[in-house]
Amino acid sequence: TLDDEGIDYGQMAFIFGVVFFFIALGVVGLTKISVFSMLLYTMPIWLPYVTFWIFYEKWMFMIGLKFAESNGRSIVEMILPPEVNKSPEAMEFFFTQIHNAPSPDNLWQAYIDGKKPLPYTFEIVSRGGDIHFYITVPEKFIPSIKSNLYAQYPGIELKDVSLDYTAEVPSDLKGWEFMSFHLQKKEADVIPILTYKDLKMDMLPKEEEKLDPITPMLEAMA
């Protein structure tokens, strides 16, 4: 059950095993003092594991966040041209070009500096029915992002945004309501999601023959 939910149950199984072990010692007739003594004697075995399990993930999260913040973030708004006459393959090529998976060069960078692939976000935002497309990326990747987008879509306009739109949300959240949705596939993971090639969009059909799966969502947001 835990495996189906994507939960790591190794630590849970270890704790359950330790508890079961000491309960078993009590069942066979050992006194509580004996069990407690056994716990102290075996501490050099289980305490390092438990301590490492508690602090390792917290440490890696902290240094990873620090590394990401040290690289800064920039926001770019994409203003689309009235018509785009390219297939989605152009955007697929764009994602291929900007994909970066820099791995740490040594153990110091991995476990002290927290070096890891930096995140991008590609966001579709509706503000009063007005649709906006935003990209947030590390500052050093802005030239690469812009040059690759201009290469694929010469008519696109890229505008630097100085203030994130989420800054408009008040800190006390008074008068605000939130709703979120988690989408999950009904079928097994081996069954793929339909891509633009399955919809024949790589063949550049006529405008009236296009099946754009994102249009219903944009209409609802507008």
pLDDT at 173: 87
| Burial status of residue 23 (CB atoms within 10 A of its CB: 0-12, 13-18, 19 or more) | exposed
Measured on CA atoms in the order 106, 110, 114, 117, is the torsion positive or negative?
A: positive
pLDDT at 101: 66
d(CA 192, CA 188): 9
pLDDT at 63: 93
Q: Which residues contact 125 (CB under 8 A, 6 or more apart)?
A: 131, 132, 133, 134, 165
Strand arrangement of the beta sheet that strand 74-79 belongs to: 121-127, 130-137, 74-79, 157-161
pLDDT in tens, the chain (222 residues): 666 666 666 777 777 887 887 788 778 877 777 777 877 888 888 788 878 877 888 898 899 899 988 988 899 999 988 888 888 888 898 998 888 666 788 888 888 988 888 888 999 999 889 999 999 988 888 998 999 999 999 989 999 998 888 888 888 888 888 888 888 878 887 788 888 888 888 887 777 777 777 888 899 999
pLDDT at 157: 94
* pTM exceeds 0.85 for this model: no
Give residue 211's region: left, alpha or beta (phi > 0; psi -120 to 50).
beta
d(CA 169, CA 174): 9
- Do 75 and 161 form a contact (C-beta atoms < 8 A)? yes
Which residue in 180, 174, 28, 151 sits closest to 90, CA to CA?
151
Distances (CA, A) of 215 to 190, 211, 218: 26, 9, 5
| Burial status of residue 33 (CB atoms within 10 A of its CB: 0-12, 13-18, 19 or more) | exposed
- Do 22 and 35 form a contact (C-beta atoms < 8 A)? yes
Give residue 135's region: left, alpha or beta (phi > 0; psi -120 to 50).
beta
